Amino acid sequence: MAGGSSTRMAPGRTLPADAIANRANRPLRRPVRRGSSAWLVGAFGRAEGHRAWSASHARSDPSWPGPALVAAAPAKCVRGRGRCQHGRVPTHSVPSSDGVTLALHDLGGDGPDLLLCHPTGFHALTWAPVAAALAGVAHCWALDFRGHGDSTRPESGSYDWHGMADDVLAVVDDLGLTGVRGVGHSMGGAALILAEQARPGTMAGLWCYEPIVFPPMDGMPGGSSGGAGAAAESPLAAGARRRKAWFPDVTSARSNYASKPPLNGFRADALDAYVQHGFRPAAGPDGVEGVELKCAPAVEASIFEMGGGHGGFARLGEVACRVTVVASGDGAPPAMAAGLVAEALPSGLLVTMPELTHFGPMEDPEAVASAIPAALLG
């Protein structure tokens, strides 16, 4: 595990990471210091160059050739229910709202069911390194959200984030889960929270890495009302629309991503998983065969534009289950807002992982995986 992980209940009071298990059942008792709206807005502007959230795209196709996800299952891998997350991943379809058909991937493992939810532009298989580290304690499932990976796009063309919550609930119903334990990163964390708000009592516990559940304020993505005019100014959406969508082959795509931030900070197997399952064969503008991103830049941009309008922050008091909110040390808006989210939750716990950035689950999957069992599986 990367050094320096900690859990913080309030500024100035920090517990070592190994104390998380003893505090996981206890809610926040001291308020997290609030920054002003202007402070958060200004910080968001400074973070534009950081490209937080918006640097990836994906989905999974086990038959498509590309870098090996994992060359071979390690000796310590536990093949829960006759399978593991290495090699070919069992996948089945799940119907959701707005005509969407989801791809649900069984990443295997032995233990309680654990639902893994990816960020905007990513896909289910980027969780594979985390699932591998959890194989001895949990059976991991991961979905491709609508418009991502192997899931279809909504018939209406709308990427309202409540549709992501519908996707979570569709998977919960398909698997027949009760007392759900969920792990979400960025949009994935928000989707889990929105799902619990939509159907109270569904979740038993959540572990959310920088969930995109911001307090309403002008100048942030989506603005105070989430209106289209404010959303159009989102630097994340603008950056997504400029993203290169086509490459001659997956090797070229991987080399491109490995050469610049933020994806050059990913652990090699996480980057391999992203690239291997994030592209489909497609002809380029000149008719030359190559590969294209499965999550189209326009789709990713639309999702960013809708991220500020879901209203989840105002309803955090309705989330009764225990929620661990994790903040990285990069100083970007999701990290700064994490304390506000934890404070607003009835049973919220703020944990800091200062050595990581917003892309922590792909930067250090072992560190992330080691923090989850005490919070959800103890």
In 80-138, the DSSP E strands lie at 91-95, 101-108, 113-117
Q: Does any domain span residue 30? A: no
**Residue at 149: amino acid letter:** G
Q: Is residue 31 part of a domain?
A: no
Q: Is residue 305 part of a domain?
A: yes
Report DSSP state, residue 17: G
Look at residue 110 and tell me if it is in a domain: yes
Q: What is the pTM of this model?
A: 0.79
> Which among 276, 362, 369 is positioned nearest to 55, based on CA atoms?
362
- Residue 246 falls inside a structural domain: yes
Going by C-beta distance under 8 Å and a sequence separation of 6 or more, which residues neighbour residue 23? 7, 9, 15, 349
User: 165 is in which domain, residue-wise?
Assistant: 6-25+39-376
- Length in residues, the chain: 378
* 88 confidence band (pLDDT: 50, 70, 90): confident
Give tens-digit pLDDT for 21-38: 333 333 333 333 333 333
**What are the CA-CA distances from residue 252 to residues 57, 90, 256 (Å)?**
15, 27, 6
CA 311, 317, 323, 328 dihedral sign is: positive
Residue-wise pLDDT tens digits, 212-247: 999 976 555 443 333 333 344 589 999 999 999 999
User: Does residue 1 lie in a domain region?
Assistant: no
Provide the domain count of the chain: 1
pLDDT tens per residue, range 137-178: 999 999 999 999 999 999 999 999 999 999 999 999 999 999
Asked if the structure places residue 34 within a domain, the reply is no
Residue closest to 221 by CA, chosen among 340, 306, 334, 330: 306
Name which of 63, 328, 41, 39 is nearest 210 in CA terms: 328
Please give the pLDDT value at position 87: 59
pLDDT at residue 234, as a whole number: 83
- Asked whether residue 16 carries a pLDDT value surpassing 90, the answer given is no
Q: What is the CATH number of the domain that holds 359?
A: 3.40.50.1820
In the block, residue with structure tokens 């603005």? 223
Report pLDDT digits (tens) over 256-284. Answer: 999 999 999 999 999 999 999 999 999 98
Is 33 inside any structural domain?
A: no
